[in-house]
Structure 1
């Protein structure tokens, strides 16, 4: 794939907007909050870092994906949760504070875990071509595109909280527009093959999303995590930062492979259906549970 203004300039700026928006919603207390939710945090991060890549690998092998698409799926699995998870969690009456904490911690962990997963995937599926792995220069680039904008956003929140509050809504809207634009870029650059790619990864992306959401809710509940925290975990695990995955795949300085961006692009659009269905089911179950509680105000 040839370099272009979209991949060298627009994509990094687009991701910076999203990560800056995340930083605007974070404070140091969000990282310290892990002490209040130790079980929920450990279980959710364990699922995110260990279980999801293993499940994704199983699906990739089961569906026998082409090597670039297989690496793209593993890249997606290693990407941290997206900021959209906060909105989904709010709609499903989850613990949004926990979502923010998980996103913050997972974004930091991803600086190390994401290159490891992708490097192993490249070695396994493509004989190590273009590995981003633990090479210091490329690891530094991942650090820069993930954490620097977050740190700037947190600094703005700390120094000018009122200004940060005013920026919050416009940045959220811009983030949605950016996500759509980034997906459009990925699809456009592979427009000649996009039909076949969607046919190849559409089902696996949808199945992976359903499994992510299910595991994200069921495992914490099995570990006796409260319902609202399990809801937060479900969406944090089920909603990946597709923009980060697409940026790493398309960036000429990193993977420079448009095919590897397709799984994240497909997942970024297909996740809304199972996520919306889960919100409905969770709210329905909550409503039924509330109706069963007797009204003690009546004599």
Structure 2
């Protein structure tokens, strides 16, 4: 795939990172230490979700890119997306789908903190394990320490600040909740639009390829989450929460990482940008379908826990 370099001046990159950090701060205002205590008291569902999120999905993604001999740049994009934590819309989609919101919220908080280490680690590991993408790690000069610091600054620090501020300023989250959701949607679409605008030629030339790659990859992610929860014999509400949490990735984070470290990697941009659009479509459609399907195993009541958080 022919590379197209996307130039962002330092001020633009800082602004993008600040916007992501603000979005994470807003999301974490409703997180409480009780959400993390819940994992210790009833760890099965969140831990199964984390296993699917940070272990199964990146490993399966790497294996698929090797077996299908996917273009190296597109493969890197898929591996990066698979290494990112759950997206900010997974909680409300879980609520719409009559899933267990408590599990979803717990996974969002823990995965956002864990991503500070796991996202750079998984991306570097699986990009190296794929023999087709391994040479690109040298060509694109990935800075693992810089990547670690970036993810920590735009995810970990804002999340901790939000959790600190939330209980002390209870009215703050109520005032900014709706604006932040709109802001998050606009930001995601803007980042995707920039990626497509700067790669119009590649977008038109490879549309039939990366479109199906993203659709299939997203379906794989959702399936991994659901089947993993099913294998662990979790209730249906937990399965829905985990499936959506694994399938709704933080595409905005992936795009910021690409803009910052890999601006010449047009294939990565196309994958991450279209994923950011497609997972909203697939997640909303799946949530609507599940909302029409009654839960008969008694787990529906779990989805009512902490619905105020979304």
TM-score, structure 2 as length reference: 0.85
Identify the residue that residue 274 of structure 2 maps to in structure 1.
266
Aligned to 1:41: 46
2:262 equivalent in structure 1: 255
Count of paired positions: 287
1:162-217 CA-to-partner distances (Å, cap 9, x unmatched) read 12221111111111111111111121222221122432211111111112212212
Following superposition, the deviation at residue 117 of structure 1 comes to 2.0
Matched, 1:276 2:284: yes
Cα distance, 1:98–1:289 mapped onto 2, change above 3 Å: closer
Equivalent residue in structure 2 for 1:54, among 42, 56, 59: 59
Q: 1:200 pairs with 200, 204, 209, which one?
A: 209
Q: 2:159 maps to which residue?
A: 150
Moved more, 12-21 or 121-130: 121-130
Map residues 99-248 of structure 1 onto 2, 5 A cutoff: 99-123=104-128, 124=131, 125-127=133-135, 128-129=137-138, 130=140, 132=142, 135-248=144-257
Q: Which has the larger radius of gyration?
A: 1
**How large is the RMSD of aligned CA atoms in angstroms?**
2.2
Cα gap change, 1:32 to 1:64, in 2 (>3 Å): same
Match in the other structure for 1:295: none
3-state DSSP of counterpart to 1:80: coil
**Matches of 1:171 and 1:70 in 2, distance apart?**
32
Q: 1:154–1:131: structure 2 CA closer, same or farther, 3 Å change rule?
A: farther
Query: Could you say which structure has the greater relative contact order, defined with CA pairs below 8 angstroms and 6 or more residues apart?
Result: 2
Q: Which of 120-129 and 154-163 deviates more?
A: 120-129
Deviation at 1:2, TM superposition (A): 4.8
Q: Name the stretch that deviates more: 188-197 or 44-53.
A: 188-197
Change (3 A) 1:162 1:43: same
Aligned twin of 1:66 = 71
The answer to whether the 8 Å contact 2:147/2:257 transfers is no
The aligned counterpart of 2:97 is 92
**For the Cα contact (< 8 Å) 1:99–1:232, is it kept in 2?**
yes
Match of residue 303 from structure 2:
none
How far apart, in 1, do the equivalents of 2:288 and 2:214 lie? 21
* Distance change in 2, residues 1:287/1:237 (3 Å): closer
Cα deviations by residue, 1:139-178 (Å, 9 ceiling, x for unpaired): 2222112212222222221221112221111111111111
User: Does structure 1 retain, via aligned residues, the 8 Å contact 2:79–2:127?
Assistant: no
Match of 1:294 in 2: none
Match of residue 4 from structure 1? 8
Give the superposition deviation at 1:136.
3.2
- 1:80 equivalent in alignment to 2:85: yes
- Inter-CA distance 288–28: structure 2 relative to 1 (3 Å threshold): closer
CA separation in 1, counterparts of 2:199 and 2:180?
A: 28
TM-score normalised by the chain length of structure 1: 0.88
Which consecutive residues of structure 2, in runs of 5 or more, have no partner in the other structure?
Answer: 299-310
